[in-house]
Amino acid sequence: MTAKPTTPKTLKPCTCSLFEVGQYGPDGSAESYEGNGTGCDRQTKARFAQGHDAKLVGFLVRAELAGLEISQIEAGTRIAYAGAVKAAQTVSEALAAKAARMLDGAKKKAEEKAAKNTPPAEPTTPGAAETKPATTRRRRNTPKNA
C-alpha cells in the first residue's frame, strides 16, 4: 500500500492581521489616518491561528465601543465597516453572531456601571425629603368630644 501524495498547503497571514482600527486626523484626509492592527504576525494554513478568531472579535468590539473606525486593507484599498458585527460578518456568520453577543454584553455592562455611578436624584425643593406629610389619626375607642 502506498501513501497518497499530499500537496503542501501554503502558509498565509492570519485573518486577524488584515483588520485595523483607527481614526482620521482633523482634516479628514487619507494621509491623516492613524490606525493600529491586532499586532498578529502569524502565518497559518487555516484561516486563523489558534485562538485568533476570539482575539479578532474582542479587538473589533473594543474598537466599536471606543468609537474607532474599523477597516480592512484589501488589494491596496481601505474598506471601512459600520461596526464590529459588519466587519466580523465578512469573515463568517458565526463570528458575526459572536461579535453581536459580545457587543450586547459589553453595552449592558457599561449601562449597569453608569447606573451605579449615577448619584441619586436630589429633591426639587429644599427640605422636601425630610418633611413627612401631616396625618391626623384618632385613637380607637375614644369619644370624639373627649
Give the domain extent around 34: 12-109
Please report whether residue 116 resides in a domain: no
Amino acid at 137: R
pLDDT at position 113, please? 86
Does 7 reside within a domain? Answer: no
| 40 part of a folded domain | yes
Enumerate residue ranges in the chain where pLDDT < 50: none
pLDDT for residue 43: 94
123 occurs within a structural domain: no
pLDDT at 137: 66
Per-residue confidence (pLDDT) for residue 143, from 0 to 100: 63
Asked, for residue 138, whether it belongs to a domain, the answer is: no
Does 5 map to a domain? no
What pLDDT was estimated at residue 23? 85
**pLDDT score for 146:** 55
Question: What is the chain written as a DSSP string?
Answer: --PPPPPPPPPEE-GGGGEEEEE--TT--GGG-EEEE-----EESSSS-TTHHHHHHHHHHHHHHHTPEEEEEETTEEEEESSHHHHHHTT-HHHHHHHHHHHHHHHHHHHHHHHHHSPPPPPSSTTTTT-------PPTT--TT-
Residues in the chain: 146
